[in-house]
Amino acid sequence: MSFWSHVLDALLALVHILSDRLLEFILGWYLGDHKRVPGPPSVEQQSLLSKSAVDLAQQIRERKIRSYDIVKAYCERIDSVNRDLNAVVDGPFPEALDQAREIDRRLAKKEYTDEDFRRQPFLGVPFSTKDSTAVAGKLHTLGLLSRKSERSSTDAECVRLMKESGAIIIATSNVPEVNKWIESRNMLIGGTNNPYDLRRSVGGSSGGEAALIAACCTGFGLGTDIGGSIRIPAFNCGVFGHKPSSGAVNMSGCTFRTGKEKDTMVCAGPMSRSARDLLPMMQVLIEPSLKAKLKLDEQVDLKRLRYFYVASNGMAQCNPINKETERVMYKIRKHFENLTGKDVRHADIPNTKITGKMWRYWMTQEPANFNLLLGNGAELNPFVELFKKILGQSDYSMAAIYGLIDSVLPKEKEKLIREATAKCKKSVQDLLGDDGVLFFHSSPRTAPFHFYPLIKFNDFAYFSLFNVLHLPATQVPMGLDSKGLPLGIQVVSNPNNDRLCLAVAEELERTFGGWVPPFPLKQ
């Protein structure tokens, strides 16, 4: 690099740092005092509500706790903290208590065989899903005023599979309009607040889900991810989330998909407080035809994997990686170097600096028309909608208006982007092979204040790269920064090697502690 390009880079970093500080200052002043979600009222409730889904399942099976008690506890927890979080669209569902009571009754009578337990690994465990994923009989608004009382008649395939695994649906959670933004705010429900600092963004689009999981309002949850929609909220709210390999989960019923679409960047996946929940959830969710390919049951020898990291995506539009975030990567590298006795090598991946453009292009190739979705079937005129917004007469959030305007801006150059994507993809595939794992920053900084992304939104390219490349990626919480906000890392592998990401996520949880409650723990 020449001298002048170094100078330019330094200037750019300075502009980013100054604008970041300025936004934090102004929005912090506007949004008032720092408040966190309150903790459960007793030590017993705290211990019950903060368990992992696999631990809940085991204790229900062994009749150490009753499914009824845990469903009731989560429903009460939602009732007591949703005013702070504003995360729920529909629920808590009273019939969940009846389902739990029936499970407890059958458990007491020993009516379940070992085979039943094997088929229903989450028997009696409460779960939730984002509103855009259909649940029979429940609201299915996609955050649109025009759909405020629309209910779904069927379950999305992933919801059906979760129910079949014995899990009990207790609520649906907030999303940005038609899932297409990195905050979870709309004109129907409003904005969802971050449990660690109610003034801050939960991310999007599975933001209601991440807030509920982090604040111990549900056992675990379902997200979907087309540009980071599982991982952004999981990062902002300090929980785990896994975006599976493309095609691994049937998308039928998620944002009106049929499940027959080919070559889509979107995938449904698990979100949880513990890394140990992700693999059994994946076993429930994956396409039967992919069981042999994904080999989720196969043991992973962490000492024999090859580990790589990337220090920055090099995108001029992104904030520079801050010191506390850099420190996370350093700690992880040191840990895996100690574990394997080999270097965690820096990876040079071409074209990550145009991730924003690549993702924007590939979004136009999706088998979905986001403008029609937003109009609930009617074509919206971006200029009319912008004008209405300015007059305060719009049914849409500013983020949705951005999306509409973006659709009439010049398109990306097709040939250039396709070539750039192919080169990037080949380089990662060659590098990682069948035993490589890549550590990639989640974001250059921790959860921003509400509205910050309306001004600086490009940081999400750290997530969307792996939608562009169709690679599995696990979001792992890595403790809190000096402001008490969740830090994190993404763990990435080649297609269908999800089990490597999940095994590494479990190792990171064992070593660094995983989810940290957003409230002070009662002793």
Ligand X SMILES: *[C@@H]1O[C@H](CO)[C@@H](O)[C@H](O)[C@H]1NC(C)=O
Give the active site residues: 130, 205, 229
Interacting residues of 152 by C-beta distance below 8 A, sequence separation 6+ = 134, 135, 136, 137, 138, 140, 253
H or E segment to which residue 14 belongs: helix 3-31
Under rule CB under 6 A, residue 104 binds ligand X? no
- d(CA 107, CA 130) in angstroms, rounded, equals 30
Strands (E), 48-205: 88-90, 126-130, 168-173, 185-186, 190-191, 193-194, 197-201
User: What does the per-residue mask of binding to ligand X show for 114-133, with x meaning CB under 6 A?
Assistant: --------------------
Q: Quick one: 155 or 506, whose CB is closer to ligand X?
A: 155
Under rule CB under 6 A, residue 259 binds ligand X? yes
- d(CA 319, CA 309) in angstroms, rounded, equals 18
Under rule CB under 6 A, residue 252 binds ligand X? yes
Which of 55, 90, 104, 157 is in the footprint of ligand X by CB under 6 A? 157
Q: Quick one: 65 or 294, whose CB is closer to ligand X?
A: 294
Q: Quick one: 252 or 446, whose CB is closer to ligand X?
A: 252
**Least separation in angstroms between CB 356 and ligand X:** 30
Under rule CB under 6 A, residue 507 binds ligand X? no
**Least separation in angstroms between CB 511 and ligand X:** 8
Cα torsion through 185, 189, 194, 199, rounded to 10: 80
Which is it for the CA torsion 402, 27, 193, 489, positive or negative?
Answer: positive
Cα torsion through 228, 379, 381, 390, rounded to 10: -70
Cβ atoms 440, 198 nearer than 8 A:
no
H or E segment to which residue 384 belongs: helix 382-390
Which of 99, 201, 250, 490 is in the footprint of ligand X by CB under 6 A? 250
Interacting residues of 232 by C-beta distance below 8 A, sequence separation 6+ = 182, 203, 204, 207, 443, 460, 463
Phi, psi torsion values for 14, nearest 5 degrees? -65, -45
Contact segment (CB under 6 A) with ligand X among 128-136, 224-232, 311-319, 333-341 equals 333-341
Under rule CB under 6 A, residue 260 binds ligand X? yes
**Least separation in angstroms between CB 334 and ligand X:** 6
Q: Quick one: 137 or 259, whose CB is closer to ligand X?
A: 259
Is 161 strand, coil or helix?
A: helix
**Least separation in angstroms between CB 262 and ligand X:** 9
Closest-approach residue to ligand X (CB): 259
Q: Quick one: 251 or 465, whose CB is closer to ligand X?
A: 251
Under rule CB under 6 A, residue 334 binds ligand X? yes
Contact segment (CB under 6 A) with ligand X among 88-96, 161-169, 238-246, 334-342 equals 334-342
Is 128 strand, coil or helix?
A: strand
Under rule CB under 6 A, residue 291 binds ligand X? no
**Least separation in angstroms between CB 151 and ligand X:** 19
Cβ neighbours, 10 Å, residue 36: 18
Contact segment (CB under 6 A) with ligand X among 330-338, 391-399, 444-452, 479-487 equals 330-338
- Which residues contact ligand X (rule: CB under 6 A)? 157, 250, 252, 259-260, 334-335, 338
